[in-house]
Amino acid sequence: MRDFSKMTLKEVLDFQISATEEEMAAYGAYHERMRQAEERHKLQLTIRKMVPGKYPDTTLDDWEETAKRKDEILTYCRWCYPPEVLREKYRTGAEFDDWEGEAWKAQMHNKTQLLLTGSAGTGKTVVTRMIQCELLRGYRLRLAVVYKGAEDLYQEYRSEGGAHNGQRYTQCDVLIIDDHGQGGITDVYKKWLHLVIDRRWEQGLPTIVTTNLNSEQLREAIGDALLSRLSSGQVWKFEGEDYRFRNRQVISKK
Ligand SMILES: Nc1ncnc2c1ncn2[C@@H]1O[C@H](COP(=O)(O)OP(=O)(O)O)[C@@H](O)[C@H]1O
Ligand SMILES: [Mg+2]
Protein backbone atom coordinates (compact mmCIF):
# COMPACT_ATOMS: atom_id res chain seq x y z
CA MET A 1 0.00 0.00 0.00
CA ARG A 2 1.23 3.52 -0.80
CA ASP A 3 2.43 5.88 1.91
CA PHE A 4 -0.13 8.67 1.52
CA SER A 5 1.68 10.98 3.90
CA LYS A 6 4.62 11.31 1.50
CA MET A 7 2.61 12.09 -1.66
CA THR A 8 2.78 15.52 -3.34
CA LEU A 9 -0.42 17.25 -4.34
CA LYS A 10 0.11 16.28 -7.98
CA GLU A 11 0.63 12.64 -7.01
CA VAL A 12 -2.57 12.73 -4.96
CA LEU A 13 -4.55 14.08 -7.92
CA ASP A 14 -3.10 11.47 -10.29
CA PHE A 15 -3.78 8.80 -7.71
CA GLN A 16 -7.41 9.84 -7.34
CA ILE A 17 -7.99 9.60 -11.11
CA SER A 18 -6.52 6.15 -11.47
CA ALA A 19 -7.16 4.56 -8.04
CA THR A 20 -9.16 1.36 -7.69
CA GLU A 21 -12.09 1.22 -5.27
CA GLU A 22 -9.91 -0.61 -2.76
CA GLU A 23 -7.16 2.02 -3.00
CA MET A 24 -9.70 4.82 -2.54
CA ALA A 25 -11.05 3.08 0.58
CA ALA A 26 -7.52 2.93 1.99
CA TYR A 27 -7.05 6.60 1.15
CA GLY A 28 -10.34 7.46 2.92
CA ALA A 29 -9.27 5.50 6.00
CA TYR A 30 -5.94 7.36 6.04
CA HIS A 31 -7.79 10.69 6.01
CA GLU A 32 -10.06 9.59 8.80
CA ARG A 33 -7.05 8.61 10.93
CA MET A 34 -5.47 12.02 10.27
CA ARG A 35 -8.70 13.80 11.21
CA GLN A 36 -8.97 11.86 14.45
CA ALA A 37 -5.33 12.51 15.34
CA GLU A 38 -5.85 16.23 14.75
CA GLU A 39 -8.96 16.20 16.90
CA ARG A 40 -7.08 14.44 19.74
CA HIS A 41 -4.28 16.95 19.46
CA LYS A 42 -6.64 19.94 19.67
CA LEU A 43 -8.38 18.37 22.66
CA GLN A 44 -5.03 17.86 24.37
CA LEU A 45 -4.04 21.51 23.79
CA THR A 46 -7.34 22.68 25.29
CA ILE A 47 -6.96 20.43 28.32
CA ARG A 48 -3.45 21.78 28.89
CA LYS A 49 -4.96 25.24 29.19
CA MET A 50 -7.54 24.05 31.70
CA VAL A 51 -5.42 21.81 33.93
CA PRO A 52 -2.07 23.03 35.24
CA GLY A 53 1.27 21.27 35.57
CA LYS A 54 2.16 17.78 34.54
CA TYR A 55 -1.32 16.31 34.86
CA PRO A 56 -2.71 16.80 31.31
CA ASP A 57 0.22 14.87 29.86
CA THR A 58 -0.10 11.89 32.17
CA THR A 59 -2.57 9.03 32.34
CA LEU A 60 -3.56 6.86 35.26
CA ASP A 61 -0.90 4.36 34.23
CA ASP A 62 1.87 6.88 34.89
CA TRP A 63 0.97 6.94 38.59
CA GLU A 64 1.47 4.31 41.26
CA GLU A 65 -2.14 3.44 41.87
CA THR A 66 -3.47 0.03 42.81
CA ALA A 67 -5.64 -1.72 40.25
CA LYS A 68 -8.54 -1.32 42.65
CA ARG A 69 -8.11 2.45 42.91
CA LYS A 70 -7.75 2.81 39.14
CA ASP A 71 -10.93 0.86 38.72
CA GLU A 72 -12.71 3.06 41.27
CA ILE A 73 -11.53 6.18 39.46
CA LEU A 74 -12.68 4.97 36.05
CA THR A 75 -16.03 3.82 37.43
CA TYR A 76 -16.50 7.18 39.11
CA CYS A 77 -15.76 8.96 35.83
CA ARG A 78 -18.35 6.87 33.99
CA TRP A 79 -20.90 7.84 36.62
CA CYS A 80 -20.30 11.51 35.85
CA TYR A 81 -21.99 11.08 32.45
CA PRO A 82 -23.38 14.53 31.51
CA PRO A 83 -26.23 14.93 34.05
CA GLU A 84 -28.23 17.12 31.66
CA VAL A 85 -28.23 14.40 29.02
CA LEU A 86 -29.33 11.75 31.50
CA ARG A 87 -32.11 13.95 32.87
CA GLU A 88 -33.38 14.74 29.38
CA LYS A 89 -33.35 11.07 28.45
CA TYR A 90 -35.22 10.16 31.61
CA ARG A 91 -37.76 12.91 31.07
CA THR A 92 -38.50 11.89 27.48
CA GLY A 93 -38.51 8.17 28.26
CA ALA A 94 -35.56 7.49 25.90
CA GLU A 95 -33.65 4.22 26.32
CA PHE A 96 -30.56 4.24 28.52
CA ASP A 97 -27.47 2.25 27.55
CA ASP A 98 -26.31 -0.09 30.31
CA TRP A 99 -23.78 2.29 31.74
CA GLU A 100 -25.98 5.36 31.23
CA GLY A 101 -28.49 3.57 33.41
CA GLU A 102 -25.75 2.89 35.93
CA ALA A 103 -24.72 6.56 35.90
CA TRP A 104 -28.31 7.67 36.35
CA LYS A 105 -28.73 5.46 39.40
CA ALA A 106 -25.39 6.56 40.87
CA GLN A 107 -26.35 10.22 40.46
CA MET A 108 -29.81 9.73 41.88
CA HIS A 109 -28.48 7.88 44.91
CA ASN A 110 -25.70 10.43 45.45
CA LYS A 111 -22.92 7.91 44.97
CA THR A 112 -21.18 10.66 42.98
CA GLN A 113 -20.70 12.66 46.18
CA LEU A 114 -17.08 11.78 46.88
CA LEU A 115 -14.97 12.67 49.91
CA LEU A 116 -11.21 11.99 49.81
CA THR A 117 -9.52 11.99 53.20
CA GLY A 118 -5.96 11.35 54.34
CA SER A 119 -2.91 13.19 55.55
CA ALA A 120 -0.72 15.42 53.37
CA GLY A 121 1.17 13.84 50.51
CA THR A 122 -0.92 10.70 50.21
CA GLY A 123 -2.03 11.51 46.67
CA LYS A 124 -5.47 13.11 46.95
CA THR A 125 -4.73 16.05 44.66
CA VAL A 126 -3.22 13.71 42.06
CA VAL A 127 -6.38 11.61 42.05
CA THR A 128 -8.68 14.63 41.65
CA ARG A 129 -6.54 15.97 38.80
CA MET A 130 -6.59 12.55 37.13
CA ILE A 131 -10.38 12.48 37.45
CA GLN A 132 -10.60 15.98 35.99
CA CYS A 133 -8.41 15.07 32.98
CA GLU A 134 -10.19 11.77 32.49
CA LEU A 135 -13.56 13.54 32.45
CA LEU A 136 -12.43 16.25 30.02
CA ARG A 137 -10.84 13.69 27.68
CA GLY A 138 -13.49 11.02 28.03
CA TYR A 139 -16.44 13.32 27.44
CA ARG A 140 -14.57 15.53 24.99
CA LEU A 141 -15.15 18.73 26.97
CA ARG A 142 -18.90 18.17 27.05
CA LEU A 143 -18.82 18.32 30.86
CA ALA A 144 -18.48 21.59 32.76
CA VAL A 145 -15.89 20.54 35.34
CA VAL A 146 -15.04 23.25 37.88
CA TYR A 147 -11.86 22.61 39.87
CA LYS A 148 -11.10 24.92 42.78
CA GLY A 149 -8.59 24.93 45.61
CA ALA A 150 -10.58 25.42 48.84
CA GLU A 151 -8.49 28.43 49.82
CA ASP A 152 -8.95 30.05 46.39
CA LEU A 153 -12.68 29.47 46.61
CA TYR A 154 -12.82 31.14 50.01
CA GLN A 155 -10.73 34.11 48.87
CA GLU A 156 -12.89 34.50 45.78
CA TYR A 157 -16.04 34.44 47.91
CA ARG A 158 -14.62 37.04 50.28
CA SER A 159 -13.32 39.42 47.63
CA GLU A 160 -16.55 39.38 45.63
CA GLY A 161 -18.76 39.72 48.71
CA GLY A 162 -22.50 39.75 48.04
CA ALA A 163 -21.91 39.81 44.27
CA HIS A 164 -20.42 36.35 44.40
CA ASN A 165 -21.78 34.19 41.64
CA GLY A 166 -22.65 30.96 43.37
CA GLN A 167 -24.50 29.53 40.37
CA ARG A 168 -21.28 28.55 38.72
CA TYR A 169 -20.72 26.17 41.64
CA THR A 170 -24.25 24.95 42.22
CA GLN A 171 -24.91 24.22 38.56
CA CYS A 172 -21.69 22.95 36.99
CA ASP A 173 -21.73 19.28 35.94
CA VAL A 174 -18.89 18.29 38.27
CA LEU A 175 -17.43 20.35 41.14
CA ILE A 176 -14.05 19.52 42.67
CA ILE A 177 -12.87 21.35 45.82
CA ASP A 178 -9.33 20.47 46.82
CA ASP A 179 -7.93 20.69 50.35
CA HIS A 180 -10.92 21.76 52.32
CA GLY A 181 -10.78 22.71 56.00
CA GLN A 182 -7.55 24.67 56.19
CA GLY A 183 -8.83 26.85 59.01
CA GLY A 184 -9.89 30.48 59.24
CA ILE A 185 -13.19 30.34 57.38
CA THR A 186 -16.18 32.38 58.54
CA ASP A 187 -19.59 31.04 59.55
CA VAL A 188 -21.23 32.93 56.67
CA TYR A 189 -18.93 31.19 54.23
CA LYS A 190 -19.62 27.78 55.83
CA LYS A 191 -23.33 28.42 55.36
CA TRP A 192 -22.84 29.39 51.74
CA LEU A 193 -20.73 26.31 51.06
CA HIS A 194 -23.28 24.13 52.77
CA LEU A 195 -25.96 25.56 50.52
CA VAL A 196 -23.88 24.87 47.40
CA ILE A 197 -23.21 21.25 48.41
CA ASP A 198 -26.83 20.80 49.43
CA ARG A 199 -28.22 22.08 46.13
CA ARG A 200 -25.86 19.82 44.23
CA TRP A 201 -26.79 16.91 46.45
CA GLU A 202 -30.50 17.45 45.77
CA GLN A 203 -29.87 17.39 42.04
CA GLY A 204 -27.55 14.40 42.21
CA LEU A 205 -24.70 16.44 40.72
CA PRO A 206 -21.22 14.96 41.21
CA THR A 207 -19.10 16.77 43.82
CA ILE A 208 -15.62 15.83 45.03
CA VAL A 209 -14.05 17.31 48.17
CA THR A 210 -10.60 16.47 49.50
CA THR A 211 -9.31 17.18 53.00
CA ASN A 212 -6.29 16.55 55.21
CA LEU A 213 -8.43 16.62 58.33
CA ASN A 214 -9.67 13.53 60.14
CA SER A 215 -13.39 13.25 60.80
CA GLU A 216 -13.22 14.86 64.25
CA GLN A 217 -11.24 17.85 62.99
CA LEU A 218 -13.51 18.10 59.97
CA ARG A 219 -16.61 18.09 62.15
CA GLU A 220 -15.13 20.91 64.17
CA ALA A 221 -14.14 22.87 61.08
CA ILE A 222 -17.34 22.61 59.07
CA GLY A 223 -20.05 21.33 61.40
CA ASP A 224 -22.09 18.16 61.60
CA ALA A 225 -24.61 18.92 58.88
CA LEU A 226 -22.11 19.62 56.12
CA LEU A 227 -19.91 16.71 57.18
CA SER A 228 -22.80 14.31 56.97
CA ARG A 229 -23.63 15.57 53.45
CA LEU A 230 -20.02 15.27 52.33
CA SER A 231 -19.63 11.74 53.60
CA SER A 232 -23.05 10.48 52.55
CA GLY A 233 -21.81 9.20 49.20
CA GLN A 234 -18.43 7.53 48.90
CA VAL A 235 -15.45 8.12 51.17
CA TRP A 236 -12.02 7.11 49.89
CA LYS A 237 -9.37 6.97 52.59
CA PHE A 238 -5.78 7.64 51.59
CA GLU A 239 -3.29 5.98 53.86
CA GLY A 240 0.39 5.27 54.06
CA GLU A 241 3.47 7.36 53.89
CA ASP A 242 3.78 10.73 52.17
CA TYR A 243 4.59 10.05 48.48
CA ARG A 244 7.26 12.74 48.60
CA PHE A 245 9.02 10.70 51.29
CA ARG A 246 8.58 7.42 49.40
CA ASN A 247 10.13 8.99 46.30
CA ARG A 248 13.04 10.31 48.34
CA GLN A 249 13.81 6.82 49.58
CA VAL A 250 13.91 5.51 46.03
CA ILE A 251 16.38 8.21 45.04
CA SER A 252 18.69 7.58 48.01
CA LYS A 253 18.96 3.86 47.09
CA LYS A 254 20.61 4.65 43.78
N1 LIG B 1 -0.33 7.75 42.76
C2 LIG B 1 0.86 8.34 42.81
N3 LIG B 1 1.93 7.79 42.24
C4 LIG B 1 3.13 8.41 42.29
N5 LIG B 1 3.36 9.58 42.89
C6 LIG B 1 2.32 10.18 43.49
C7 LIG B 1 1.02 9.59 43.48
N8 LIG B 1 0.18 10.41 44.14
C9 LIG B 1 0.93 11.44 44.55
N10 LIG B 1 2.20 11.31 44.16
C11 LIG B 1 3.30 12.25 44.44
O12 LIG B 1 3.21 12.75 45.76
C13 LIG B 1 3.10 14.16 45.78
C14 LIG B 1 1.97 14.54 46.73
O15 LIG B 1 0.73 14.13 46.22
P16 LIG B 1 -0.58 14.99 46.39
O17 LIG B 1 -1.61 14.43 45.48
O18 LIG B 1 -0.27 16.42 46.24
O19 LIG B 1 -0.97 14.66 47.90
P20 LIG B 1 -2.10 15.30 48.80
O21 LIG B 1 -3.01 16.09 47.91
O22 LIG B 1 -2.79 14.11 49.43
O23 LIG B 1 -1.41 16.14 49.82
C24 LIG B 1 2.80 14.61 44.36
O25 LIG B 1 3.54 15.74 44.01
C26 LIG B 1 3.17 13.44 43.49
O27 LIG B 1 4.36 13.67 42.80
MG1 LIG C 1 -3.43 18.13 48.03
pLDDT digits (tens, 9 = 90+) for 88-140: 999 999 999 999 999 999 999 999 999 999 999 999 999 999 999 999 999 99
Instruction: Tell me which of 66, 117, 126, 251 to substitute to probe ligand 1's pocket, judged by most ligand atoms within 8 Å of the beta carbon.
Output: 126
Query: DSSP string spanning the chain?
Result: ---GGG--HHHHHHHHHH--HHHHHHHHHHHHHHHHHHHHHHHHHHHHHHS-TTGGG--GGGS---HHHHHHHHHHHHHTS-HHHHHHHHHHTPPPPHHHHHHHHHHHTTTTEEEEE--TTSSHHHHHHHHHHHHHHHTTT-S-EEEEEHHHHHHHHHHHGGG--THHHHHSSEEEEEEE--S---HHHHHHHHHHHHHHHHHT--EEEEESS-HHHHHHHH-HHHHHHHTSSEEEE--SS-HHHHHHHHHHH-
Atom of ligand 1 nearest to the CA of 243: 12
Which residue of 68, 125, 129 sits with most ligand 1 atoms within 8 Å of its CB, as the best mutation to test the pocket? 125
**Residue 85 and residue 47: Cα distance in Å, rounded?**
22
Reported as a pLDDT band with limits 50, 70 and 90, residue 252 is very low
Give residue ranges with CB within 6 A of ligand 1.
63-65, 118, 120-126, 238, 243-244
Give the distance (Å) from ligand 1 centre to CA of residue 118.
Answer: 12
Q: Are residues 112 and 151 in the same domain?
A: yes
For the chain, what is the radius of gyration of the CA atoms?
23
Using left for φ > 0, alpha for ψ between -120 and 50, and beta otherwise, residue 72 falls in alpha
Q: Indicate which CATH number applies to the domain containing 147.
A: 3.40.50.300
- Which of the four pLDDT bands, split at 50, 70 and 90, describes residue 73? very high
Same-domain status, 63 and 30: no
**How many angstroms does the Cα of residue 89 sit away from the middle of ligand 1?**
38
* Residue of 117, 209, 243 best suited for mutating to test ligand 1, as the one with most atoms within 8 Å of CB: 243
- Give the Å distance between the CA of 93 and the centre of ligand 1: 43
Q: Give the per-residue pLDDT at 52.
A: 95
Q: Which residue has the higher pLDDT, 254 or 136?
A: 136
What pLDDT shows up at residue 236?
96
> Which pTM was predicted?
0.90
Q: Do 163 and 98 lie in a common domain?
A: yes
Q: Among all ligands shown, which has an atom nearest to the Cα of 61?
A: 1
Alpha carbons 251 and 254: distance in angstroms, whole number: 6
Same domain, 174 and 238: yes
pLDDT over 70 at 8, yes or no? yes
Q: Which ligand is nearest to the CA of 116?
A: 1
Residues 22, 123, single domain; the answer is no
Residues 176, 94 share a domain: yes
Same domain, 85 and 117: yes
Count CB neighbours of 204 within 10 A.
Answer: 20
Q: Are residues 75 and 143 in the same domain?
A: yes
Listed residues 47, 65, 82: the one ending a domain = 47
Residue 177 sits in the same domain as residue 161: yes
Among all bound ligands, the one having the nearest atom to the CA of 121 is 1
How far from 65 is each of 62, 73, 156, 204, 235, CA to CA, in Å? 9, 10, 33, 28, 17
Q: Which residues have beta carbons under 5 A from ligand 2 (an ion)?
A: 125
Q: Give the span between the Cα atoms of 151 and 42, in whole angstroms.
A: 31
Burial class (CB in 10 A: 0-12, 13-18, 19+), 132: buried
Structural domain span for residue 169: 54-253
> pLDDT at position 221, please?
83
Same domain assignment for residues 98 and 151: yes
Same domain (yes/no): 192, 237: yes
Number of domains in the chain: 2
Same domain, 197 and 229: yes
Cα of 178 vs centre of ligand 2, distance in Å, is 6
